[in-house]
Chains A and B, each alone.
Chain A
Amino acid sequence: MNHEPLLLATPSGDALNLRPEGPWTAANVVTLETLSRSVGADVDRSRVVTLDMSGVSALDTLGAWVLEKLSRRAASAGRSTEFVGVADHFSGLMDEVRQVNRHTPAPTAAPNPVLARLGDLGKSTVGAREDITIFLQMLGALFMAVVGVLRRPRSLRLTSLVYQLYRIGWQAIPIVALITFLIGAIIAQQGFFHFRRFGAESYTVDMVGILVLRELGVLIVAIMVAGRSGSAYTAELGSMKMREEIDALSTMGLDPVEILILPRVAALVIALPILTFIGSIAALYGGGLVAQFYGDMGPAIYIARLHEAITVTHFEVGILKAPFMALVIGIVACSEGLRVKGSAESLGRQTTTSVVKSIFLVIVLDGLFAIFFASIGM
């Protein structure tokens, strides 16, 4: 049983007698391919090809196919081929293999690379328009859900809202505080290091205060929340979509936006300003610690300088942006979740898209706000 497969070719005049021997099975595929290639030229030369199967000790689909292919190679050139001595227990398989691969579909022509590139460009343009439509649709649906809740306050899913607040607000506090603390400390250290050269160390406090309150606090927190909670939303809603839970809700006459999406987005809109506040304080605290231990500036002076440097306006500018950023993150995360199709791969792709897109939009929005606040003089 364990000897190698063989293929004995005996040419006699115009005729060729091929005698495969041994186990013609998938395990010996390397040998089989070599064997069938080695007799290819002989097959092309002969007018009559006979395959004597009596020496085959084991046969599977792969082996049968390799033999069938040899026979077809001869047949396609108009020569006669014949299988002889097929053992009874192999005949079913040989008959089956003779049926397959008869209709090879026409190979699709490789598209022109320039046209393909243009096609991709067109597709992504249409895709971008679709993205905007979906965003606006979700915004509209959310607005309608809010109106519905205002008309019937009892329809607000309070339990769900509180649970989401706990998950994305309360549980996020430690990591948000830690990261903003470090960012504040790093900025302060850089400020002291570079400003010291021209004796402007005290302005470090201005820089830390304004930068953290206006921009960095809210931006860092929003990016963290997009990565932490936005991805969770997309994955949750996506797997609900895959398991037809969302369809089940709709068929019960309930609105998935009201039940699933509104509490999630509302929780984000409530939690993000709070997290921003906590993050900003942590960053200022980090800056204060660096001021004391690295910049030789005591807490009293730091606070006094801070008091002079920043106004409530700076704080307002930062905190006002937070709910809008939360809205963008929530809408992107939820609508990407609903776009998940049946496969596991699509869930992963949509989650990635959700995070990338919401971080991008958060930064764009921050830029727009910067222009806006500058033009109204805040």
Chain B
Amino acid sequence: MDAPQDQFAIRVRDLVVGFGRQTVLDHLSLDVRRGEILGLVGASGGGKSVLMRTIIGLIKGQSGTIEVMGQPIGGHGRGAATTWGILFQQGALFSSLTVRQNVQFPLRENLVLSQELMDEIAIAKLEMVGLRAQDADKYPAELSGGMTKRVALARALALDPPILFLDEPTSGLDPIAAGDFDALITTLQKTLGLTVFMVTHDLASLTTVCDRVAALADGKIVAIGPMRELLQSEHPWVRAYFHGKRSQMLQHEMR
């Protein structure tokens, strides 16, 4: 169905991003294939979030090109919600709207549809992310951390965008909730055929969910590939990341 040049959902070429005299991303290149779940790891403050925010257009790059679904960024404008959905770390739900209204917000802003259909779609999305219809009239302040993330995911997916960005989706969740959330993302990715770009520190998510993992160090992607390959990487930072005491313990447990 797709032409060969369309096999990449996101293409980043020679991206340079800096603030003042500090360069955060230094000639970074990264391709995200259609329909894969790509995990991005990197040191805290190492530019993971900057990369994500640059791709979605919140930060301007100094040089380099970024194409999302074959279009240079900036060309998406108002319809951005139909191109990608973003799950922010704290959910970023609109606190003055109910859960239902939060999910309906992208629908209302981008489409012309009847209130009845909008209500049904909102409930459908909420049920798809594992919430109940009874939760729809709550306000964000009344939700637990896990529920907030689920509502934010439902809102991100409201318009069935082809790409989903997740910023540390499992941070702040207990291991059971985090595991459930991972499973949810895998299911939704399969059902809706999403491309998922996930920034995470959660080694369990990286191992169980991600098709490929990219490691960001010194402003560049220093290693990319399935988790198995990354574990074999010789790059000192990648080795330190995956073979540190904590990681070793986790991997040992998982074996």
A contacts, CB < 8 Å to B: 25-27, 29-30, 33, 60-62, 65-66, 69, 89, 92-93, 95-97, 99-101, 103-105, 341-346
Contacts and interface: CB of A to CB of B under 8 A. Distances in A.
Given A26-B159, A97-B124, A66 B117 contact: yes
A349 to B, nearest CB: 10
Interface string B113-150: 11001001101110110001110000111000000000
Nearest to A28: B111
The 8 closest A-B pairs by CB, nearest first: A60-B160, A343-B95, A342-B141, A100-B124, A100-B127, A92-B191, A345-B96, A29-B113
A348 to B, nearest CB: 9
21 contacts: A27-B111, A33-B114, A33-B117, A60-B160, A60-B192, A61-B121, A61-B124, A61-B160, A65-B124, A89-B193, A92-B190, A97-B124, A104-B123, A105-B133, A105-B134, A341-B141, A342-B141, A343-B96, A343-B141, A345-B95, A345-B96
Contacts of B159: 26
B58 interface: no
Contacts of B117: 29, 33, 62, 65-66
Contact of B127 (A27, A89, A92, A99): A99
B160 A65 contact: no
B112 interface: yes
Nearest to A64: B124
Given A65-B121, A100-B127, A29 B111 contact: yes
Interface string B87-120: 0000000011000000000010011111001001
Nearest to B113: A29
A92 B190 CA distance: 7
Contacts of A105: 133-134
Contact of A26 (B82, B95, B120, B140): B82
A226 to B, nearest CB: 26
Contacts of B191: 92-93, 95-96
A97 B192 CA distance: 11
Contacts of B128: 61, 96, 100
Nearest to B193: A89
Q: Is the interface of B mostly helix, strand, loop or mixed?
A: helix
Nearest to A63: B160
Interface of B: 82, 95-96, 107, 110-114, 117, 120-121, 123-125, 127-128, 132-134, 139-141, 157, 159-160, 190-193
Contacts of B160: 25-26, 60-62
Contacts of A342: 95, 141
Contacts of B111: 26-27, 29-30
Contacts of B96: 343-345
B104 to A, nearest CB: 12
Most buried by A among B82, B121, B139, B140: B121
B32 to A, nearest CB: 20
B192 A101 contact: no
A61 B133 contact: no
Contacts of B120: 65, 69, 101
Contacts of B133: 101, 103-105
A92 B193 CA distance: 10
Contacts of A65: 117, 120-121, 124
A99 B132 CA distance: 12
Contacts of A26: 82, 107, 110-111, 159-160
B91 to A, nearest CB: 12
A342 B112 CA distance: 33
A96 B187 CA distance: 10
Given A100-B124, A100-B128, 12 more contacts: A30-B112, A33-B117, A60-B160, A61-B128, A62-B117, A65-B117, A65-B124, A103-B133, A344-B96, A345-B95, A345-B96, A346-B141
A105 B159 CA distance: 24
A33 B125 CA distance: 18
A341 B82 CA distance: 33
A92 B125 CA distance: 15
A254 to B, nearest CB: 26
A119 B123 CA distance: 30
B44 to A, nearest CB: 20
Nearest to A30: B112
Contact of A93 (B95, B132, B141, B192): B192
Contacts of B125: 61
